[in-house]
Structure 1
């Protein structure tokens, strides 16, 4: 028997297949002529606070600060209307909301981070696509911060991307924001995408723009380094590899200390990055007081997409790189056993 949800005004929707799940809720298709989905959160820590949070976000759709963010093209899966499950016996109703179906315009962000997914779902993607996606993400985060929103749990799982590098974002209901005098604290954090000052912090420690800026730098690095996490690698100090977060806490990062980790020879070379971006990465990973903001990243990335800043390899037209690199870094990578942007996306692995 399928689920049905009802809005406060009495409108009902029938839910179809489950299309996604996360740490808090589930996303379902919605029977509607419009491209909609519904997110249901079965067990929020404080159900009344969650209902109030969603209601405030729905109301903020009409506020000037949010109207600007929601202008076309759609970049945010913003809550459109609160809903609650209806019908059935013996179970409590579940709260959630209806939002735009991001699948209509985007694909999961992770499809841009691995060679196999790029070849299957984004076959025309090159390093230029990744650069444009990094720029779009930085701009979006900068705009959110300017309007008083903190994402708090910025990670690939709540991001979307298309073949031109446009970026969208979901899980708006987990953000940190204020409405009048009431603060709605960010609730979530994800291993590998948490700023060092929040790793191990007590539950409920609120995020801030600086913690978002750290996660942004991680994601920009992954985009530009073909999915490689900046804190990947086996420690060279004799300790065991435990996690990205452990490497974050100990400052083990190839860009800030190339002797701190061991990485496979097949990963993209570190010197494929333009110098101005390397400087921003080093600032982002060294001191929370001096992390580049989304707006600063956007300016630097826009400069790297300017005419004349990108070069196409003479051997493989899918190998795009910065003009600062005198020879192709992707060919170098291929010579060491891997190729993040192979020349024939249809070729079977």
Structure 2
């Protein structure tokens, strides 16, 4: 539609305009005046589809603005529902001279302004069926309209309740669209919005001349948030009880100064208005962000699109109150606030309409959905029978499917509940059920239920999965500690990082209980290490020794402090190294050297600093100790203070043995500069084998002997029949040697083929003894029979 708006010099307008016609020349008669404002009056027309707005003071600028609006209409968000959300101009109205006098707009039927639905007193009179769910829906539709306008860069400017109509289905229409700020992109002309209302103008525009101000979508965000707050609480967000001195400031002055009840101590919320806490956290934060943070940073205010997202989420969380069908509330925020308000003030903000509510298909359907949300199948089934009376068949079928699906889910929930009651295996069983569960995204999964001790299934599954993941990491640490012959407390910091008391201590039978016993010591280790580290960095040696423990070596290495610790201790212990700390006798034999050692006590001055200090010795057949062998006091105690050192084939059997004393602190070996040389006298009487040598160098003979090889006779007897697997016959000087695969002083003597050992029938074997076994060892030799295959039963031990 195109036209050339003309505006003659004569501006006289009749009180009741006559002879008006459309842009196409169709004569239109006005019938009666419906409303009047500062800019113009609204009239009914002879065409029942339209209203007419006639300006009090028509102008060329208004005519051009209308032309731009007609050429660039916004998309109506509810057009698909047969509802007009934006009362946009449809055509201009010209007088007989062809001057623009006003415009035609669509007639909106059955609407009332927002005040009639958010004000409790007016709501009871005009819209008693409007509940909190409807008010949320109205707020969503207002935000939807604003988004559609902002998408086309239109700015409303004067956002106030009187400029919106809402019908009994919560569908909203915005009026006074010709007052919007419109930008003509073709001619690059901006038509300002010169109007504003108290309480809805953003703080940055208060007190300014709106005829000169260019507005933005950021300004509309403030008024939109005020409207939404009005709809949800029935009062202005900046209203409340004044606690400051003197008379309370005006509403606009409170907005200008940022005095909101959310943040200012000078303004408290009215005790007659439900608190902000009745809303879910995301809605509370939205209001605080817009009114508090948005006061200084307008861009922080939520957009229309943001509000749409939050209000859609809110509608999905609203449920009907079990006591009053017309009360909608958020169960996550506690008891029904409208019931509490009724008890407190004796005023029901959303009163029940008796029989009318009981026959209200919408309320019954919402009650049905509320019962499904908590998994109450029995109550949902009863409500469904009521829906069958006055519900659309297609919708009824959908509800029946929902009930069937929820019933199936609740049956599976029972299995989850049983799994949670089990002890050690509950996590594995629960996670297996979850893996095969088909309704992971169903709302019931996120809902706290009595079935799961008021936790949600999702929370239970997440806790089990987290617990299993943490236990897996902890067990890997413990395995690593065991493999490296370290205490589990060597990983005290990792244990503390992975340990979750809330997760691990809820089940006394869980596998985490054994780990829990380590945690007090791990906490103590952490405290001690926090003292040890600065002491080491500040070279406080005595303090380091008092705090030090072998469990700190792993952490010191990780922190790059192990070498500084070695240097510090070497310097400290050097004066003590010149003292005699052991005495030794020595004997000689072809195969090696037998040495008896006895350490002197560690000086009290050192022992008092740390209980972890031990003696040790370095042994070598070369004076430069190129290939030293280290023996600790602990190892020597195990060997009865006697060690046997075999000669290798390359060594001179009569070369001296060089011994270098040392102190041992965990993995730190502090060697003395003093070296002791031992010569040999007589052959040894008995031999004790050191486990510090490899099998390849063990008892290598210097000369072959011509004596015949002895036999080892073995008899096996059992009180019941046994199928014996292939058995290895091993020999050694101690049971420890036989039971540890890593011990070098255990050796294979022979092998027994698979056979049947019958009940009480002895089985005899003869095994030749090789020359590598010294004669004087035979009377001390211990024998073990163990399966060749590691999967076979445990070893048989004999001596």
CA–CA distance in structure 2, aligned partners of residues 20 and 150 of structure 1: 24
User: How far off its partner does 1:105 sit?
Assistant: 4.7
* Residues 69, 182 of structure 2: 8 Å contact kept: no
SS of the residue 1:76 aligns to: coil
Hey, what does 1:281 align to over in structure 2?
287
Runs of 4+ in 1 over 6 A off after TM superposition: none
Deviates more, 1:331-340 or 1:227-236: 331-340
Name the structure, 1 or 2, with higher relative contact order (CA <8 Å, separation 6+): 1
2:133 corresponds to which of 113, 128, 134 = 128
The TM-score with structure 2 as length reference comes to 0.39
CA–CA distance in structure 2, aligned partners of residues 40 and 299 of structure 1: 38
User: How far off its partner does 1:265 sit?
Assistant: 2.4
User: How far off its partner does 1:160 sit?
Assistant: 1.2
1:38 corresponds to which of 40, 48, 52 = 52
CA–CA distance in structure 2, aligned partners of residues 323 and 108 of structure 1: 30
- List per-residue Cα deviations over 1:5-28 (Å, max 9, x = no partner): 322332222212222223322111
1:28 corresponds to which of 43, 50, 66 = 43
* Residues 330, 341 of structure 1: 8 Å contact kept: yes
User: How far off its partner does 1:301 sit?
Assistant: 0.7
With over 3 angstroms needed to count, the CA separation of the structure-2 counterparts of 1:231 and 1:188, relative to structure 1, is same
* Residues 65, 182 of structure 2: 8 Å contact kept: no
Deviates more, 1:145-154 or 1:70-79: 70-79
Query: For the aligned residues, what is the CA RMSD?
Result: 2.4
Is the aligned partner of 1:60 residue 2:67? no
Identify, as 1 or 2, the structure richer in helix.
Answer: 2
Q: Which runs of 5+ in 2 are unaligned?
A: 1-14, 356-799
Larger Rg: 2
With over 3 angstroms needed to count, the CA separation of the structure-2 counterparts of 1:35 and 1:116, relative to structure 1, is farther
CA–CA distance in structure 2, aligned partners of residues 318 and 85 of structure 1: 52
Q: Figure out how many residues of one structure are paired with residues of the other and give that number.
A: 330
With over 3 angstroms needed to count, the CA separation of the structure-2 counterparts of 1:274 and 1:173, relative to structure 1, is same
Structure 2 counterparts to residues 197-216 of structure 1, below 5 A: 197-203=204-210, 204-216=212-224
SS of the residue 1:305 aligns to: helix
Hey, what does 1:16 align to over in structure 2?
31
User: How far off its partner does 1:69 sit?
Assistant: 5.6
Hey, what does 2:327 align to over in structure 1?
319
Is the aligned partner of 1:160 residue 2:165? yes
* Residues 319, 328 of structure 2: 8 Å contact kept: yes
Is the aligned partner of 1:49 residue 2:61? yes
CA–CA distance in structure 2, aligned partners of residues 211 and 278 of structure 1: 21
CA–CA distance in structure 1, aligned partners of residues 76 and 135 of structure 2: 25
CA–CA distance in structure 2, aligned partners of residues 163 and 322 of structure 1: 23
Hey, what does 1:340 align to over in structure 2?
349
Hey, what does 2:303 align to over in structure 1?
293
Structure 2 counterparts to residues 63-212 of structure 1, below 5 A: 66-67=74-75, 71-72=79-80, 73-84=83-94, 95-102=101-108, 104-179=109-184, 180=186, 181-203=188-210, 204-212=212-220
User: How far off its partner does 1:158 sit?
Assistant: 0.7
CA–CA distance in structure 2, aligned partners of residues 243 and 192 of structure 1: 9
With over 3 angstroms needed to count, the CA separation of the structure-2 counterparts of 1:194 and 1:313, relative to structure 1, is same
Hey, what does 1:253 align to over in structure 2?
260
SS of the residue 1:248 aligns to: helix
* Residues 238, 255 of structure 2: 8 Å contact kept: yes
With over 3 angstroms needed to count, the CA separation of the structure-2 counterparts of 1:239 and 1:23, relative to structure 1, is farther
CA–CA distance in structure 2, aligned partners of residues 212 and 196 of structure 1: 12
User: How far off its partner does 1:123 sit?
Assistant: 2.2
Q: Which runs of 5+ in 1 are unaligned?
A: 88-92
User: How far off its partner does 1:335 sit?
Assistant: 3.0
With over 3 angstroms needed to count, the CA separation of the structure-2 counterparts of 1:55 and 1:245, relative to structure 1, is same
User: How far off its partner does 1:106 sit?
Assistant: 2.7
- List per-residue Cα deviations over 1:127-165 (Å, max 9, x = no partner): 000101111111221121112111111111111112222
With over 3 angstroms needed to count, the CA separation of the structure-2 counterparts of 1:339 and 1:242, relative to structure 1, is farther
CA–CA distance in structure 1, aligned partners of residues 207 and 354 of structure 2: 42
SS of the residue 2:248 aligns to: coil
